Amino acid sequence: MQKASSHKLLEVACFDPESCFTAGQAGADRIEFCRDYGSGGLTPLRDDILKVRERLSIPLHVIIRPRAGGFVYSAEEMETMKRDILFCKAQRVDGLVFGVLTANNEIDVPANQALVELCAGLPCTFHRAVDACPDPETAFGGIIHAGFRRVLTSGGRASASEGIEQLKRLQKKFGREITIMPGGGIRSHNIGLIARETQCPEFHSAALIAGKSAVDAHEVSLIKEHISHD
């Protein structure tokens, strides 16, 4: 069961090493490291993971996603994910982020459970693949059963702003069993409303501004300020 906390945490999604360092210096509480923003995030290159791990002083979570597209993986792709998990564990990352669905867009509980068990105690986040599931409550049950510590979700909508009502329902129903982390289009102009309405403890943002592909330090600071004063 999750412990309640008044502290609101900001996780920043970063798509290159320099963005990780920028976000950390600007006040992010945790980094989700990935590459390829256009695809929603893929497993970073191993050299980049090493570079970030060496210099980053805040918790580092790494996404494990071998390709763009859907979240139904072949046996070979599952083996790639397992190798990437073992590499990240060896580098002492602080957590891992992944999600496997069935062909019917339901949670593949055995596949996810096998990956969580391979992480051997490292906290695991189920990513926004959950937003493709037709029945959120059943999906959350499967995610909890598989052993995840948190779930990143926009409430099944294109953005967290659009999914506020669903996020509120999910937080009320499951928030004592798993950390629910809204994400998807969260920026400084909307984080205050999302934080107040959902009452979730953690939030996820790429902290980008228009026309830029790297994290914006001022945007990180503004988001952090808004959730700290909520």
Give the pLDDT confidence score for residue 89 in this predicted structure. 97
pLDDT tens-digit map of 27-54? 999 999 999 998 889 999 999 999 999 9
Mean pLDDT of the chain: 95
Asked whether the predicted pLDDT for residue 1 surpasses 80, the reply is: no
pLDDT tens-digit map of 178-200? 999 999 999 999 999 999 999 99
What is the secondary structure of the chain as a DSSP string?
-PPP-S--EEEEEESSHHHHHHHHHHT-SEEEE-B-GGGT-BPPPHHHHHHHHHH--S-EEEE---SSS-S---HHHHHHHHHHHHHHHHTT-SEEEE--B-TTSSB-HHHHHHHHHHHTTS-EEE-GGGGG-S-HHHHHHHHHHHT-SEEEE-TTSSSTTTTHHHHHHHHHHHTTTSEEEEBSS--TTTHHHHHHHH--SEEEE----TT--S--HHHHHHHHHHHH--
Q: What pTM value is reported for the model?
A: 0.94
3-class DSSP state for residue 1?
A: coil
Asked whether the predicted pLDDT for residue 132 surpasses 90, the reply is: yes
**CATH architecture designation of domain 9-228:** Alpha-Beta Barrel (3.20)
Question: Which residue ranges make up each domain of the chain?
Answer: 9-228
Return the closest-CA partner of residue 183 out of 209, 163, 210.
163
Give the pLDDT confidence score for residue 15 in this predicted structure. 96
Asked whether the predicted pLDDT for residue 2 surpasses 60, the reply is: no
pLDDT tens-digit map of 137-174? 999 999 999 999 999 999 999 999 999 999 999 999 99
Asked whether the predicted pLDDT for residue 211 surpasses 80, the reply is: no
Give the pLDDT confidence score for residue 38 in this predicted structure. 87
